[in-house]
Chain A
Amino acid sequence: MTEPAWVRWLLIGVSVAFLGLFLIVPLVAVFSEALRGGVGAYFTSLIDPAALSAIRLTLLVTAIAVPANLAFGLAAAWLIARFDFVGRSVLLTLIDLPFAVSPVISGLIYVLLFGLQGWLGPWLSAHNVQIIFAVPGIVLATVFVTFPYVARELIPLMQEQGSEDEQAALSLGASGWQIFRRVTLPNVKWALLYGVILCNARAMGEFGAVSVVSGHIRGETNTMPLHVEILYNEYNFVAAFAVASLLALLALATLGAKSLVERFSGAGQRGGGAA
């Protein structure tokens, strides 16, 4: 019923070689390049003021974008999984949109809207509000590329679970808020956590969209990935890979947390979460 042993080992060999070449070698390269100048140089490049300010900005942007998209994901999932209404499938398509749009275009749309020559540019500059080449633009671009993650995890699960639990709670006299907090949230907590983990990783690591709106002002509008780019283009490879290694650690932590959530929730392999 199964393949001959040589076929089996050939397929395993091809898989391991491909994954090794494309995943493990680049991952090891990040850490090896970061430590090329020794441990001292590694930490010196991490406590550089520009690096610290990039880390601070990345944390700030993530702290705004992730909760905003968490709230959006919950509202959108409640709406789509609990009600049948006109335009529901259009809404679902809209939620998937950022996955189909190039990150560069995600940034571009905000420049066209809020940039100096954009639709609202003249009005904004007259009122001394700066969005593009400033923190608000970076937050907006990050929100755009990360808003599907939580909603995409919650919608299929809540559709599958159905609304019997909530209807039972309603008939027992629970208020809307009580139903949400006591019934819905506990039912979806693992999927919610899963979505937040993915959303967080993308928010901290987004490069293309943020690059378009940031303006690359050192110490002011540089997030960690942008700081990596600047250092790299200045041929300061050790520092670039040192900051990159922090992001690689974040990626490994994300993969670890993801596996743990999958194990705890008993969901096993997840196809939908991949995208």
Chain B
Amino acid sequence: MQNEECRMQNAKSGEWQVMRIALKQHSVLPGFGVSLGYTMTYLSLVVLVPLAALFARSASAGWGRFWAAICDPRVVASYRLTFGAALLAALINAVFGLIIAWSLVRYRFPGRRILDALVDLPFALPTAVSGIALTAIYAQGGWLGRWLEPLGIKVAFTPLGVLVALTFIGLPFVVRTVQPALEDLEKEMEEAAASLGAGRWQTLRRVILPALFPALLTGFSLALARAIGEYGSVIFIAGNMPMKSEITSLLIITKLEQYDYAGAAAIAVVMLLASFGLLFGVNALQWWVNRRQRVGA
């Protein structure tokens, strides 16, 4: 009955029918047209048209002005800070995220469940709140700033503060991607290695780490991508001094406030392309590692 109705509805528009056959493989379930139409309309309005506006606007001022906007020394200094601090923060998170995931999965200790739930805090806490909290802690006279100041270490309002904020924001990515991989890791493999005479350290280096590497790489790249675009948690602690502690996202806003729409769009395009290039590169590396491991096994 229902099928009959569906078919009749479809037949109403012959052209649409032809397109459906070309576009999709046969499925008996209803709702392809409706969900496709709705999803595509929504995505076009919310994502595709605005993104097209971004690329069009960055090109509208001509190549010369585009180039001048993205090569301005102040902008270049911000790339160095943003990408450098993001890379360093992602590396810190890769190391400590691996240790944290390992401790949470393999060991039992008091407070483990609460810590496990708290790992997602940087996702759940609004970035502006993280930003002012970190600033309050590391500022002169803050809980930690008070102790670091006599040692000559200044965190708040320096590039070091940017690093702290980006480490905070990227922490959950590595832990949450490595955790499931670690849980799926078969104990038998480790036992086999041990029975063949491998020491614990050897087993870790030769068996466990290679198995975790793809997950670690995914977590690292997610943390890196997030850190590159991060804004809220950074701007409070960064101090935002031109050439020194100014991140690229903030420069986009500065340009907007000066009504330099083309300049803002140009910098945004550079950031977008860098993020996409990075994700593409990591995916390619991931594919290569997987293939090599499969061939090796």
Contacts and interface: CB of A to CB of B under 8 A. Distances in A.
The answer to whether A and B belong to the same complex is: yes
Interface of A: 1-4, 8, 11-12, 14-16, 18-19, 22-27, 29-30, 33, 71-72, 75-76, 78-79, 82-87, 91, 94-95, 97-105, 108-113, 115, 117-119, 140, 143-144, 147, 163, 166-167, 170, 173-176, 179-180, 198, 201-202, 204-208, 211-212, 224-226, 228-229, 232, 237, 240-241, 244, 247-248, 250-252, 254-256, 258-259, 268-271, 273-275
Contacts of B229: 100-105
Interface string B93-107: 000100110111011
B217 interface: no
B2 A29 contact: no
A109 B53 contact: yes
A170 B2 contact: yes
B47 to A, nearest CB: 6
Contacts of A117: 259, 261
Contact of B268 (A91, A105, A173, A244): A105
Given A11-B107, A101-B275, A271 B180 contact: yes
Which residue, of A72, A85, A275, has the highest number of chain B Cβ atoms within 10 A? A275
B10 interface: no
Given A100-B275, A105-B271, A258-B120, A269 B24 contact: no
10 contacts: A18-B100, A75-B35, A108-B268, A147-B42, A176-B29, A180-B31, A205-B128, A208-B127, A224-B126, A237-B136
B264 interface: yes
Interface in B31-83: 31-32, 34-36, 38-39, 42-43, 46-51, 53-54, 56-57
A269 B176 CA distance: 8
B134 A232 contact: no
Contacts of B106: 2
A85 B51 contact: no
B173 A83 contact: no
Nearest to A84: B25
Interface of B: 1-3, 6, 22-25, 27-32, 34-36, 38-39, 42-43, 46-51, 53-54, 56-57, 96, 99-100, 102-104, 106-107, 109, 111, 115, 117-130, 132-134, 136-137, 143-144, 167-168, 171-173, 176-177, 179-181, 183, 190-191, 194, 200, 215, 222, 225-226, 228-232, 236, 249-250, 252-253, 256, 259, 261, 264-265, 268, 271-272, 275-276, 279
A102 B228 contact: yes
Nearest to B178: A271
A264 to B, nearest CB: 15
A3 B144 CA distance: 33
* Interface residues of chain A: helix, strand, loop or mixed (majority): helix
Contacts of A103: 127, 229, 231-232, 249
A217 to B, nearest CB: 15
B43 A248 contact: no
A170 B137 CA distance: 59
Nearest to A20: B115
Nearest to A11: B103
A199 B295 CA distance: 41
Nearest to A76: B39
A144 B47 contact: yes
A225 B115 CA distance: 26
Contacts of B173: 274-275
A271 B179 contact: yes
B143 A25 contact: yes
Nearest to B92: A18
Given A254-B124, A255-B121, A102 B249 contact: yes
A274 B176 contact: yes
Nearest to A143: B46
